[in-house]
Amino acid sequence: MERNSRGFPQFGLSDLRRTQVLYGAVLALVLTIVGPVVGVLADVNIKGQSFGYSLAVRLSLNLLTAIATVLCLYLLIGWSRVDPTRPRDLILVGVVTGFVLLIIRVGALKAIYSREPQSSTNWIPTEASVVLIFTVLLVLVLLLVAQRERLGTAERLLADEARRALHDDSELLRARVFDHLHGTVQSELLVARIRLVDVAEEIADPEAAEALRSIAARLLRVHETQVRAFAHSVVGEGIDAGLADALAVLTVSMEDLCEVTTDISEEFIELERMTPIEICAPVQLAMYRIIEECLVNAIRHGRARNAEVRVELAGGGRRGTLIGITVSNDGAMPLAEAADGAGMRMMRVRASAYRGTVQAEVAEGRYLVRALLEWPL
């Protein structure tokens, strides 16, 4: 929002300030419609005025009040020195607005009734009471909007903390598994394999020696194709360079089990590039884990031989851009079983941390998982 040298708004307002002005305008509009009823009854029954004349005066007066309310709120709430979340500032805004409205209403009625010498000024306390009630309601509305904003901010902070806690705990466990597999388990396998080869060289029985070498070769295959691959999969290898690179590593690790093709939109890649790493890293990892879980389930339970991954922008959310993930495969896993499985529940937990959803369906003979997550701004 641009401001002039005195700090008053020139164009737009922030979301909170704009909401407060809007609610104040709605309150003024409601009173513009409802307020004339009492005034017209008093004018007709007590002052003896005609119904049409009194209705026109009251409607015009209240419409003028509504316009003045919007202008006052726009200038006061938009003023840079006013904190729209501080009760003291909002009370001051309400009092100043009420004072301005009182002056406007009294001035307008004096101008109208100056042509009626027989009219007394006993309407001034009534107008002051009307303005006082409106001021109290206006302050309450402004405070309620501010309180809702504070609660919303607190909710977002709690959600962020929960998301970070989920991310930290999950990745800490994965890091420990990686350290154990990459360090202790691989070392033990290496020692066992070398020891078997050494024993094979020492014994005289050719058949026993060959059997030991065969076991050593099998340990090497287990080391290279299973333990090592699993150790690198649990840490999301390549995620630091972006989701596309991480998925490329993931698809290579699965190429002997399932043919996986990925399609990541250029818009998403550009969004990744423009977002600071400390903001996008957690949601990137959540997306990676969801896609990984989909592929693992497709291979393990559905015996899938072909899978497709699509990542694209899916519109705007409340506080960020929506990212759509679609993973389809040719597996034969029952939809009811997949929708209630532990893997699906974990995917929904990860997505919910970013105000997202996960759904499973079968379309055109392929099993589909659709996830929607909110990319933070």
d(CA 119, CA 340): 77
Question: Mapped to the 3 state alphabet, what secondary structure does the chain carry?
Answer: CCECCCCCECCCCCHHHHHHHHHHHHHHHHHHHHCHHHHHHHHHHHHCCCHHHHHHHHHHHHHHHHHHHHHHHHHHHCCCCCCCCCHHHHHHHHHHHHHHHHHHHHHHHHHHHCCCCCCCCCHHHHHHHHHHHHHHHHHHHHHHHHHHHHHHHHHHHHHHHHHHHHHHHHHHHHHHHHHHHHHHHHHHHHHHHHHHHHHHHHCCCHHHHHHHHHHHHHHHHHHHHHHHHHHHHCCCCCHHHCHHHHHHHHHHHCCCCCEEEEEECHHHHHHHHHCCHHHHHHHHHHHHHHHHHHHHHHHHCCCCCEEEEEEEEEEECCCEEEEEEEEEECCCCCHHHHHCCHHHHHHHHHHHCCCCEEEEEEECCEEEEEEEEEEEC
Spell out a b/e string for 227-253, using b for 16 or more CB atoms within 10 Å of the CB, else e.
Answer: bbeebbbbbbbbbeebbeebbbebbeb
pLDDT digits (tens, 9 = 90+) for 211-231: 888 887 777 766 666 665 555
Mean pLDDT of 314-324: 77
Is domain 236-377 in CATH 3.30.1490.20, yes or no? no
pLDDT grade for 8, boundaries at 50, 70 and 90 = very low
pLDDT digits (tens, 9 = 90+) for 175-187: 566 555 655 666 6
pLDDT of residue 40: 63
141 vs 173, more confident: 141
Check pLDDT > 50 for residue 297: yes
pLDDT grade for 358, boundaries at 50, 70 and 90 = very high
Angle subtended at Cα 189 by Cα 183 and Cα 192, rounded to the nearest 5 degrees: 135
Mean pLDDT of 282-292: 87
Check pLDDT > 70 for residue 2: no
41 vs 154, more confident: 154
Residues of CATH 3.30.565.10 domain(s) within the chain? 236-377
Is the model's pTM score more than 0.95? no
pLDDT grade for 10, boundaries at 50, 70 and 90 = very low
Identify residue 215 by its one-letter amino acid code. Answer: I
Which range among 130-139, 197-206, 212-221, 330-339 has the greatest average pLDDT?
130-139
The count of residues in the chain is: 377
pLDDT grade for 3, boundaries at 50, 70 and 90 = very low
Check pLDDT > 90 for residue 129: no
Check pLDDT > 50 for residue 67: yes
Mean pLDDT of 111-126: 62
pLDDT of residue 342: 73
